[in-house]
Amino acid sequence: MNRSISHALFERAKKVMPGGVNSPVRAFKSVGMNPPFIARGYGSHIWDVDGNEYIDYVNSWGPLILGHAHPAVVDAIKRQLELGTSYGAATEIEVKMAELVCELVSSVEIIRMVNSGTEATMSAIRLARGYTGRNKIVKFAGCYHGHSDSLLIRAGSGATTFGVPDSKGVPGDMAKDTLICKYNDVAMLKDIFEKYGSEIAGVIVEPVAGNMGTVLPHMDFLRALRDLTGKYGALLIFDEVMTGFRVSLNCAQGLYGIKPDLTTFGKIIGGGLPVGAYGGREEIMRYISPDGPVYQAGTLSGNPLAMAAGYATLTLLKDNPEIYHELANKAEYLKKNFCEIAKENDIDIKINNVGSMMTVFFNDVDVVDYETALKSRTDMYAAYFKEMLEQGIYMPPSQFETFFISTEHSYEDLDKTIEAFKLAMETLRRY
């Protein structure tokens, strides 16, 4: 593929932007190549500035469950656009959005909109601390909750890719209040609570991890999270920025039947525009200003364009719940074929997925936590990624990420992807 215009843009970008990008993984560093610059997207496809076409499995890292430029979402944005883009004042669409999320997610009685997943988790942590009067939080190695200071520790995703799980600039004092536990490790979680239980404000967890690649929660782990937080008076925070409205219409908490105290959202609830949100039990959420003493605000929070896009997306999902079944079927179709092809070529892969969120790990052990994820062959992933990209299949440029199937991926798209996978596996035989 010729990507000369992208290359030229990247050279210009590097002169004026750190790494030439506005978010690290976009620089394609871990796969050792220059990134294509994207000009447009429609349905399941994107086109770069050189005119190359790709079937897109990144989907803006999860928000685009309805694919690119879905007519229902575009229409909703257009209608709002004509009325103005932001007022910094209360609007009806915010109320409708809040009502809809509260209706679909039973643990959420009250919700506050913010502008990103990072803001959502940062605010939820502040709320947990303000509500409980305690400082310590528990997070899990390999889970990513955005880049706020107290959460940027053993954070998976881009941080894993670049081998800097503890960012410079985070004061040591911050890190000391973040206790790190292994994902799916009930015994370790119990130990942490036995030692620090009365100091723990909350436990934040990706109920299906997506930022060390996709890692499924064990049911006893989720139950232990609920039981231990309840027993010690700590809040259970489900970070559903990625899983919210992705793994089911009632999010991961609906799928697994576990009710957290607080939930954070992002991605899908913005329909492709910048949004985050946090919500939960009324008694806790009333601590937020102006009702309560925990301060949190935002110039563009509840932005009407973002609310319109998110509301259109959630409404479409709610009115067509069979979508989740169809997405799961498509995921199983890819998974089955990928596994067969890898086996034929004698290549060890492990595929983890919950519905339409999925990772192909180049690994010979089951991936159940950060440690096992890190055993993956990143060199093989990079080679696979390049082969796929050359054949017009756009996968995440890192082993430690999740890919997503949208409603717009057709079986023809999936068959093309499977064909590309076949060629990629034949190439990988030499590894």
Catalytic residues: 144, 239, 267
Residues 336-395 that bind ligand PMP (CB under 6 A): none
Identify residues 187-246 at the interface with ligand PMP (CB under 6 A).
206, 210-211, 239, 241-242
Residue keyed to tokens 């990103």: 116
Distance, in Å, from the CA atom of 285 to the CA atom of 412, rounded to the nearest integer, reads 46
Tell me which residue has its CB nearest to ligand PMP: 117
End-to-end Cα, the chain, rounded Å: 24
- The three-state DSSP-derived secondary structure of the chain is CCCHHHHHHHHHHHHHCHHHCCCHHHHCHHHCCCCCCEEEEEECEEEECCCCEEEECCHHHCCCCCCECCHHHHHHHHHHHCCCCCCCCCCHHHHHHHHHHHHHCCCCCEEEEECCHHHHHHHHHHHHHHHHCCCEEEEECCCCCCCCHHHCCCCCHHHHHCCCCCCCCCCHHHHCCEEEECCCCHHHHHHHHHHHHHHEEEEEECCCECECECECCCHHHHHHHHHHHHHHCCEEEEECCCCECCCECCHHHHHHCCCCCEEEECHHHHCCCCCEEEEECHHHHCCECCCCCECCCCCCCCCHHHHHHHHHHHHHHHHCCHHHHHHHHHHHHHHHHHHHHHHHCCCCCEEEEECCEEEEECCCCCCCCHHHHCCCCHHHHHHHHHHHHHCCEECCCCCCCCEECCCCCCHHHHHHHHHHHHHHHHHHCCC
Which CB sits closer to ligand PMP, 242 or 312?
242
Q: Which is nearer to ligand PMP, 116 or 248 (CB)?
A: 116
Q: Determine the interface stretch with ligand PMP among 114-122, 181-189, 215-223, 294-302 (rule: CB under 6 A).
A: 114-122
Residue nearer to ligand PMP on the CB measure, 93 or 242: 242
Using the rule CB under 6 A, give the single segment among 112-120, 170-178, 246-254, 322-330 that binds ligand PMP: 112-120
Please say which residue, 70 or 145, places its beta carbon nearer to ligand PMP: 145
Smallest distance, ligand PMP to C-beta of residue 76, A:
20
Give the nearer residue to ligand PMP in terms of CB position, either 210 or 254: 210
Least distance in angstroms from the C-beta of 123 to ligand PMP: 12
Radius of gyration of the chain (CA): 21
When binding is defined by CB under 6 A, the residue of 28, 57, 61, 384 that contacts ligand PMP is 61
Q: Which is nearer to ligand PMP, 146 or 217 (CB)?
A: 146
Whole-number minimum distance, CB 374 to ligand PMP, in Å? 18
Minimum distance of ligand PMP from residue 241's CB (angstroms): 3
Contacts (CB under 6 A) with ligand PMP, residues 129-168: 144-146
185 is an interface residue for ligand PMP by CB under 6 A: no
**CB 148, min distance to ligand PMP, A:** 9
Least Å distance, CB 270 to ligand PMP, is: 9
Out of 117, 142, 202, 217, point to the residue binding ligand PMP (CB under 6 A).
117
Q: How many residues bind ligand PMP (CB under 6 A)?
A: 16
Instruction: Rule CB under 6 A: choose which of 6, 52, 116, 150 binds ligand PMP.
Output: 116
Cβ 396 to ligand PMP shortest distance, Å: 11
> Which positions from 242 through 301 interact with ligand PMP, judged by CB under 6 A?
242, 266, 276
* Contacting residues toward ligand PMP, per CB under 6 A: 61, 116-118, 121, 144-146, 206, 210-211, 239, 241-242, 266, 276
